[in-house]
Amino acid sequence: MNTPLFSPSYREARARFIQASQACGARLHRDTLPLLGTKGEELAMDVAVHGPADAAQVLMTTSAVHGIEGFCGSAIQTGLLQSLSLPPGVAVVHVHAVNPHGFSHARRVNEDNVDLNRNFIDFAQPLPVNADYAHVHELLLPQHWPPDPKAVATLHALTNVWGERRMQRAITSGQYQFPQGVWFGGLAPTWSHRTFRQVLQNHLRQARQIAWIDLHTGLGPHGHGERIFACTDNGETLQRARQWWGPQITSVDTGTSQSVPLSGPIQMAIYEECPAAQYTGICLEFGTLPLAQMVLAMRADHWVALHPEAPPEQQSTIRADMLQAFNPPSPAWQEQVWQQGLQAANQALQGLATSG
């Protein structure tokens, strides 16, 4: 990185993104959340359209679907605005801070404790039921933190019975019965959900081909960018994704991904809002800490949100652990993820240009 891309706050990250957008001639649009950030700053979902507005081939990037993960996603988007050379007729739409509230507050969830990547379900239908989560909810969020040895032992014993993969699905795949719990999918479409659909309608409806890179952090080996297939067709579309991004593309459906199948991921919106487009997408997930440590940091973050009376020192430690879990301060990690983000974007542009 010639210039620093990573920012210490949402406010700075947004300013750098806007500056980079203006410098390359991208057109900026914004939708403002009617809440303020931690420093009293405006919160918004910003969209930078780089290239022709009527492009038939479009690469979209998204950051901060999980707010705190936006430190990395925003840095990559800002770098791409500075670095990408667009093929003729191809545009890039950068959607910055899908969850601006979580980004500003350094939390993964939004202002309603909703995990946006579990919020894109059909709320006209009965809510999904995660029966396994009901068994572990009180163990995950006990009255006191850290959990007492008995609660730790009970959760460990249940993991031995279920197996680690079933436990991961129970905790992280999404749940809709415990609004104060972890990985809560919501009871209705959130502001971010509704606004993102509008972004798709406004800026991608004309596209015949869409590539999408959704930027995340948290899962997998430290610094490794797992390319997780983010489409519903495991046939021709998966084959095309592997032609563009390489044979190492993983899939939650086949069990080759660090992630598990999710209820209501954000990718569902593109099928409904851009039904005429050929869509090919990945989640680019950059590893930070082992899964158990990441889940523990998430649980502590939820616990402290439910217990504002917790001592300031404990609150500070929990916030620091969250940043370590989703935004490691290591310059080597930052350079590693930036280079992988740049490579994935260039591969997508090449794929669009040669198949358009």
Rounded (10°) CA dihedral 16, 17, 18, 20: 80
Q: Torsions phi, psi of 93, nearest 5? A: -115, 110
Is this prediction's pTM over 0.85? yes
Interior angle at CA 76, CA 230 and CA 19, nearest 5:
130
Three-state SS for the chain is CCCCCCCCCHHHHHHHHHHHHHHCCCEEEEEEEEEECCCCCEEEEEEEEECCCCCCEEEEEECCCCHHHHHHHHHHHHHHHHHCCCCCCEEEEEEECCCHHHHHCCCCCCCCCCCHHHCCCCCCCCCCCCHHHHHHHHHHCCCCCCCCHHHHHHHHHHHHHHCHHHHHHHHHCCECCCCCCCCECCCCCCHHHHHHHHHHHHHCCCCCEEEEEEEEEEEEEECCEEEEECCCCCCHHHHHHHHHHCCCCECCCCCCCCCCCCCCCCCHHHHHHCCCCEEEEEEEEEECCCHHHHHHHHHHHHHHHHCCCCCHHHHHHHHHHHHHHHCCCCHHHHHHHHHHHHHHHHHHHHHHHHHC
* Tens of pLDDT, residue by residue, the chain (356 residues): 445 899 999 999 999 999 999 999 999 999 999 999 999 999 999 999 999 999 999 999 999 999 999 999 999 999 999 999 999 999 999 999 999 999 999 999 999 999 999 999 999 999 999 999 999 999 999 999 999 999 999 999 999 999 999 999 999 999 999 999 999 999 999 999 999 999 999 999 999 999 999 999 999 999 999 999 999 988 999 999 999 999 999 988 776 677 777 889 999 999 999 999 999 999 999 999 999 999 999 999 999 999 999 999 999 999 999 999 999 999 999 999 999 999 999 999 999 999 86
Q: Which residues contact 338 (CB under 8 A, 6 or more apart)?
A: 1, 5, 75, 76, 79
